[in-house]
Structure 1
Amino acid sequence: MPSLNPALAEVRRAVRASLSALPAGSTVIVALSGGPDSLALAAATAFEAPKLGLRAASVTVDHGLQPGSDEAALAAARTAAELGLDPLVVSVEVGTAGGPEAAAREARYGVLRDAARDANAAAVLLGHTLDDQAETVLLGLARGAGATSLAGMAPDRTDDDSGVRWLRPLLAVRREMTVAACAAAGLDPWLDPHNRDDRFRRVRVRERVLPLLESELGPGVAEALARTAEQLREDAQAFDDMIAETIEDIVEPAEAGIAISVAALAANPPALRHRIIRHVVQSEFHESLSRSQTLEVARLVTDYSGQGPIDLPGCRARRVGRLVEFSAGGSGA
């Protein structure tokens, strides 16, 4: 019997490992754009899911951002059906908030969340690869983002609000392997023109920056960036666990929001203090603070000289006696 193509074997092995954590009888949804990454993921899921007692479906989102996108979406759905998946195509209108990339991503994830809830799916599978992870880390570095951003994309994450579970089985698989897997399976992926459009920062990182780093520093840069993300995720989880253990003891209700004990914040090292501040704002007001905003709030603890309230996204922080109080309002209100 001929041996299985190595690329097919690698992709299937990665998908099988990810799906094996799900209960038999449940449904999984593949986010299928029709590109090589998601198509390889869909094919491997169609092959592996029935062996594990799982039902598999696909959702393709037509963003309508370029001519022929509707035809590409229908072609992806036809391929999904041929593979044995239950396909769904959803057309969306993409807004402009945050730029075209962010707006398209927000619309896409909204559709996937709705589909997952409607199907009572155990998980949504995303086709991000090791290359995508490396690009994410580099983009985070360029923004001067903190460790949480540099930790990149998690292989397994559940939304706090929606409860949808997101799995990324291919985060340890190179993009060249998904392309080879499609070729070996006789699949014809759709090549999104936006993935070659250098107006987008991610495309410039993919087409110029990473190849330059590989050329100048030697091979293995993408893998090193992905390992960095994994290590930072471990660190972030440790910090989150520490915050979960202490947050109830140092936070108390305030008249218009929530307050943190100044003494407790001062007793913690800066890294944990800053994470507690960001955690409180995120959990209470659903907003993220930049590092400069976080440091400004921290000075209400470490360098207080009577300064007034601080406007933040969605809230306002001020020192009130032995407390730092966060109340609704601020620049995001």
Structure 2
Amino acid sequence: MQRTVEEYGLLPAGTHVLAACSGGADSVALVRLLSRLSAQGRWRLSVGHVHHGLRTSADSDAALVAELARRLQLPFFLRRLEGLGGANLEARARTARYAALAEMAREAGAQAVATGHTLDDQAETVLLRLLRGTGVAGLSGIRPIRPLAPGVTVVRPLLWCRRQALRDFLSQEGEAWREDETNLDPRYARNRVRARLMPILVAENPRLPEALAHLAEVVREEEAVWAEWVGQTLRRLARPAEGGWTVPLQEFLDLPAGLQRRVLRELAGNLPTVSFVHVEEARRLLRSGQAGQELVLPGGARVRRESGSFWVGTPGEASSLEPVPLPVPGRAWVPDLGLVVEARLEPRSESEPRGRWEAELDERYGTRDLVVRRRQPGDRIRLGVGTRKLQDLLVDLRVPRWERDRLPLVATGDGEVLWVVGYRVADAARPAPDAVRCLRLRAWPLEAAATLEAGGADGILGEQLPVGRGGPGRVSEGQEAIR
């Protein structure tokens, strides 16, 4: 496990991590192992348990985890979920579980939530997706690290550990765990793969779980390259508009077909319900449709062809948007605009900012209160020696009427407009020609944030999270898998 943590940079020194513990063997082993390293002063550790209230043994599960935390002298957090019965239970329970973990992480002051996913879980996930039909990205399986909520990531330190090795470890330590009887329920596809299909395949290749996990690792690394390419393309072409994004049509059609598909998926929110067939229908509309024609995708996203451009998003009236604080350094997550804006004080680059998604401001704004908001009546922007009405500038820039009230702005708390995202930086806010430092602003679609942040692409974010190189923990038998 330690090798996995170091290889992927999952838990930097000083991190406060909340270990998600169900009471099962994998998560109990996770707590025990993280506790060992926590005792060395590497990070702070708390334990969180989600009580789903769906099984008669749920109270006993919670009691075991609470006792484990007490014995290890770790802070313990508990959330009880209500009203989970009904259709699509598995998916709704998972969504509610991660929301509860995010709440507990915020309460604990934790920056990471660790889960007990193992190499066996990874292999089963890849196999399930193959059976159901998936694109290349689906073969990347379970990611070692991904965003959960602003300021909180999910990490999987056991992703290169075998399930049996963890049970062997607990047995040697004399540590008890709970067995989840739902893991034997054949109504769930994962259980059928685990109990019926995997044993048949492993009989042909005993190293199949490792092979599938290695496949996921390779695909994930290559997907990081794709994510960077897609991110650079989005930053260059897409502008926030009308609750979605507008893109120049001919520049999009000049892209390779594979890149077109990925850009469309990203703009549509990367919904799993949007299949290859739906993306191809959208591409046909953009190639040969007429202005004004629209395609509705599963999940509610729409693709509308316009004259010289196209729009992807979810229609609706512009809702009132309260200004969202933009810390320096830090990020403003603006779901209402589908946007993330980042601000950092950095050395000034010799070249101009890269595309419409990036801007450089004078470093003095790094000490001001900044916000992301929509335009407001009376907004003006400093251009040259005077100011202009923002409304007049947008007309001159030929910004469509329906887009003007939905454009994101970066402004000071007292109303000075600094950046009309995607269009113009206020002249008075620009750094001096001889400035060596600046306040660099970057913006990108909210849907792309998780993909790029977890995938390590620096095309938009300007930072790179570690990605594996060939996979840590290749030895996965007995204690060696968890040391």
Taking structure 2 as the reference length, the TM-score comes to 0.61
Which amino acid in 2 is paired with 1:315? A
Root mean square deviation, CA, Å: 2.4
Task: Give 2:159's aligned residue.
Answer: 171
Which amino acid in 2 is paired with 1:272? L
Deviations 1:96-118 (A, max 9, x none): 57612111111110110111122
Q: How far apart, CA to CA, are the structure 1 residues paired with 2:210 and 2:179?
A: 24
Provide closer, same or farther for how the CA distance between residues 97 and 240 of structure 1 changes in structure 2, counting only shifts above 3 A: farther
Task: Give 1:7's aligned residue.
Answer: none
Is residue 308 of structure 2 the alignment partner of residue 318 of structure 1?
A: no
CA deviation after TM superposition for structure 1 residue 52, in Å:
3.1
Provide closer, same or farther for how the CA distance between residues 279 and 263 of structure 1 changes in structure 2, counting only shifts above 3 A: same
Q: How far apart, CA to CA, are the structure 2 residues paired with 1:20 and 1:310?
A: 41
Q: How far apart, CA to CA, are the structure 1 residues paired with 2:86 and 2:267?
A: 25
Greater relative contact order (Cα 8 A, min sep 6): structure 1 or 2? Answer: 2
Q: How far apart, CA to CA, are the structure 1 residues paired with 2:94 and 2:10?
A: 28
CA deviation after TM superposition for structure 1 residue 219, in Å:
1.0
What runs of 5+ residues in structure 2 fail to find an aligned partner?
A: 317-483
Task: Give 1:145's aligned residue.
Answer: 134
Is residue 236 of structure 2 the alignment partner of residue 237 of structure 1?
A: no
Is residue 21 of structure 2 the alignment partner of residue 71 of structure 1?
A: no
The 5 Å alignment of 1:1-333 reads 11=1, 14=4, 21-24=11-14, 26-95=15-84, 99-159=88-148, 161-215=149-203, 217-255=204-242, 257-282=244-269, 289-304=274-289, 308-312=293-297, 313-329=299-315
Conserved in 2, the CA contact under 8 Å of 1:128 and 1:168? yes
2:296 is paired with a residue whose SS is strand
Deviations 1:6-48 (A, max 9, x none): xxxxx56555766774232x31110001111001110001111
Q: Of Structure 1 and Structure 2, which has the larger fraction of its residues in strand?
A: 2
Task: Give 1:4's aligned residue.
Answer: none
Between the two proteins, what is the percent identity of the paired residues? 34
Provide closer, same or farther for how the CA distance between residues 97 and 18 of structure 1 changes in structure 2, counting only shifts above 3 A: farther
Q: How far apart, CA to CA, are the structure 2 residues paired with 1:261 and 1:97?
A: 44
Which amino acid in 2 is paired with 1:230? E
Q: How far apart, CA to CA, are the structure 1 residues paired with 2:133 and 2:292?
A: 27
Q: How far apart, CA to CA, are the structure 2 residues paired with 1:276 and 1:97?
A: 35
CA deviation after TM superposition for structure 1 residue 85, in Å:
2.1
Which amino acid in 1 is paired with 2:163? R
Q: Of Structure 1 and Structure 2, which has the larger fraction of its residues in helix?
A: 1
Provide closer, same or farther for how the CA distance between residues 133 and 191 of structure 1 changes in structure 2, counting only shifts above 3 A: same
Provide closer, same or farther for how the CA distance between residues 290 and 83 of structure 1 changes in structure 2, counting only shifts above 3 A: same
Task: Give 1:3's aligned residue.
Answer: none
Conserved in 2, the CA contact under 8 Å of 1:18 and 1:167? no
Q: How far apart, CA to CA, are the structure 1 residues paired with 2:16 and 2:49?
A: 16
Conserved in 2, the CA contact under 8 Å of 1:126 and 1:169? yes
CA deviation after TM superposition for structure 1 residue 255, in Å:
4.5
Which amino acid in 1 is paired with 2:51? D
2:260 is paired with a residue whose SS is helix
CA deviation after TM superposition for structure 1 residue 182, in Å:
0.8
Conserved in 2, the CA contact under 8 Å of 1:287 and 1:314? no
Conserved in 2, the CA contact under 8 Å of 1:282 and 1:288? no
Provide closer, same or farther for how the CA distance between residues 247 and 97 of structure 1 changes in structure 2, counting only shifts above 3 A: farther
Which structure is larger by alpha-carbon Rg, 1 or 2? 2
Taking structure 1 as the reference length, the TM-score comes to 0.87
Q: How far apart, CA to CA, are the structure 1 residues paired with 2:27 and 2:129?
A: 24
Q: How far apart, CA to CA, are the structure 2 residues paired with 1:16 and 1:316?
A: 42
Aligned residues: 315
1:282 is paired with a residue whose SS is coil
Which amino acid in 2 is paired with 1:318? R
Q: How far apart, CA to CA, are the structure 1 residues paired with 2:5 and 2:229?
A: 32
Q: How far apart, CA to CA, are the structure 2 residues paired with 1:91 and 1:272?
A: 43
Q: How far apart, CA to CA, are the structure 1 residues paired with 2:98 and 2:69?
A: 19
